[in-house]
Amino acid sequence: MKYKKAFINGKIYTVNPKAEWAEAIITVDNKIVFVGSNEEASLHIDTFTEVIDLESKFVLPGFIDSHAHIVMGGEFLISIDLTNVDSPQLFSEKIKIFAKDKIGKWITGGNWNHHNWADSELPRKEWIDEDTKSTPVFLQRMDYHMGLANSFALQLAGITSATPNPAGGEIIKDANGEPTGILIDKAMDLIYKIIPQSTDEVYVNAIDAAMKLARENGVTSIHDISYNHHFRALQKAERENRLTSRVYSRLLLTKSSSFSDIEIEHNFGSDLLKIGSMKAFADGSLGSESAYMFEPYNSNPNNFGLPMEELTNGKLKEMILASDKNKLQCSIHAIGDRAVSELIDIAEAMISENPSWDRRFRIEHAQTIRPTDIKRCADLGIIISAQPYHLFDDGCWAEKLIGKDRLKQTYSFKSMLNAGVKLCFGSDWSVSTINPIKGIHVAVTRETSDGRNPNGLIPEEKISVSEAIKCYTINAAYAAFQENLIGSIEVGKLADFVVLSDNLFETQPSKIKDIKINKTIFNGEVVFSI
């Protein structure tokens, strides 16, 4: 027997340009079968219909997070959290407390940000060595492009003063040539390769924790970055009916030939779990001063960032062209303006050399981008997947690293939309909050966490509430080939929508961040309610 629900008395913003507003939604099982007025809806309600009164609340399509890390983020939720640490002293103290009952076991996680403390000094292994003598520790910076290893972890990895920097990475050393414990980008792989693989139990707990957080924040679909063993764990979660958010899984580009060999193409899978997009890196991050720039960082005239070896030796281009030729979408990380520009060069070659198809090539982040390259993205149909909340965090210190002129070319959301770029939004969770309401708040106000930009950082790049909503819904659905399934509230689409405490269009921009999720409806079921 099919199960019918009627959601009535709402202020429903459908994100459907043909009928933007409605009062009622009727679902049968997991599909939307009616969207319209309360009066019209009453004609479809019978004694077998479950009626849910929306109490005049504001309703949107379920939020789609275009860039998140489900398993890594879930493991972070069950490990140590250094997100709000604001001094070296508190950093050391929290590690000391956490490590007391972890002797001999790997301690990972962290999400620390050295720009949060007064002098922005990078942490050193000496800060934690005394309390972790027999415990290996590797704590990632919030952007996952830099990490701190203690002496025991360095010893296990064989990292010494004689260890050379790997291509695309750096081992930070002190004046005496000794490793400080800080590893950047590819240098972190020296530690990652010796950290034991997580157990099945850890994966289960991590995914369940991530799903709980997602539904509490109204996120009904996630474009995941799936590293080794993650997709297998996500398949297990789907089989066991533990997914309460749709997952669009992007696997490592280095695996693309395996997909091609077994003839998998883009957007393959079920409505709950899909694959067919491949992820790679062109550079590092701005906070780690490893984003690849045309001009050097202010702190060091010799530092232009760290391009990945695959970018400089042509391997990235080779893999992208091969993946695209086999109709696998590419989603490539690029943060520095030079990394973004060189990636667009690759996209131009891909489009000119490969057969035409609906490729939807994606640049993830595009944090700094020249105006001429924005136009190139629009002309080439390149999707930009950005994370507005990063502006809230990075806007406090970015000028110090790259200066005022380049700062004007960061998070250029309005310029992108005006140029016709298909822009979608995500969080990069657990690098920053998964909460899309806070992302919308930043996109609309461009406020920064230090409170020094009440009118917004680069205010001319503010976007409207409706534009921000579309970036978190229908644009994000398009970026995953799913605009006919989700992203708007329309008849025939899957029943994913959220009920908010307040109307985004009627809330002062500065107050948007305080809006709460009242209900999350996923696949026709209420999976979260306050």
DSSP labels for 180-199?
Answer: EEEEEEGGGHHHHTTSPPPP
CA-CA distance, 87 to 93, in Å (whole number)?
10
Q: Could you tell me if 75 and 13 lie in one domain?
A: no
Residue 133 lies in a domain: yes
Q: What is the per-residue pLDDT for 443?
A: 98
The answer on pLDDT for 116 being more than 90 is no
Tell whether 136 and 47 lie within a shared domain. Answer: no
Mean pLDDT to the nearest integer, 324-337: 98
Structural element, H or E, at residue 279: strand 273-281
The model's confidence at residue 175, banded by pLDDT at 50, 70 and 90, is very high
Give how many domains the chain has, as a whole number: 2
Greatest Cα pair distance, the chain, in angstroms, is 80
Residues 89 and 9 in one domain: no
* Same domain for 101 and 162: yes
Contact call for residues 347 and 380 (beta carbons, < 8 A): yes
- Other CB atoms closer than 10 Å to residue 65's CB: what's the count? 29
- Binned at pLDDT 50, 70 and 90, residue 391 comes out as very high
Q: Are 102 and 96 in contact (CB under 8 A)?
A: no
pLDDT at 356 over 60: yes
Q: Is residue 328 part of a domain?
A: no
In this structure, what CATH number is given to the domain that contains residue 19? Answer: 2.30.40.10
- 463 in a structural domain: no
Distance in angstroms (rounded) separating the CA atoms of residues 39 and 23: 9
Phi and psi at residue 511, in whole multiples of 5°? -100, -5
Residue 451 domain-assigned? no
Domain containing 110 equals 71-192
Query: In this predicted structure, what is the pLDDT of residue 123?
Result: 95
90 and 20, same domain (yes or no) = no
What's the whole-number mean pLDDT along residues 169-196?
95
Helix (H, G, I), strand (E, B) or coil at 510: helix
Average pLDDT over residues 178-201: 94
Per the domain annotation, does 318 fall within a domain? no
Rounded to whole angstroms, how far apart are CA atoms 9 and 51? Answer: 10
CB count within 10 Å of CB 356 equals 6
Please check the confidence at residue 413 and state whether its pLDDT lies above 80. yes
Given this model, what pLDDT does residue 506 score?
98
Co-location of 23 and 92 in the same domain: no
Confidence at 119, pLDDT banded by 50, 70, 90: confident
Query: What pLDDT is stored for residue 101 in this prediction?
Result: 87
- The CATH number of the domain holding residue 160 is 3.10.310.70
- Among the listed residues 236, 178, 167, 181, the one whose alpha carbon sits nearest the alpha carbon of residue 208: 236
Q: Work out the average pLDDT over 468-497.
A: 98
Does residue 77 share a domain with residue 29?
A: no
pLDDT score recorded for residue 2: 79
User: What is the model's pLDDT at position 106?
Assistant: 93
Q: Is the pLDDT of residue 145 over 90?
A: no
- What is the pairing mode between strands 137-141 and 146-149? antiparallel
Same domain, 75 and 49: no
Cα torsion 427, 432, 434, 436: sign: negative
Q: Looking at the domain assignment, is residue 134 inside a domain?
A: yes
Q: Which of 192, 217, 233 is the last residue of a domain?
A: 192
Query: Same domain, yes or no, for 156 and 121?
Result: yes
166 shares a domain with 118? yes
Mean pLDDT of 405-416: 97
186 within some domain? yes
Last residue of a domain, one of 192, 226, 260: 192
In this structure, the answer to whether residues 14 and 93 fall within a common structural domain is no
The mean predicted confidence, pLDDT, of the chain is: 96
Same domain, 171 and 132: yes
Q: What is the pLDDT of residue 1?
A: 57
Residue type (1 letter), 492: G
Which among 159, 192, 225 is the end of a domain? 192
Statement: residue 514 has pLDDT above 70: yes
Q: How far apart are CA 153 and CA 134, in angstroms?
A: 9
Helix (H) or strand (E) run with residue 75 in it: helix 70-77
Judge whether 168 lies within some domain. yes
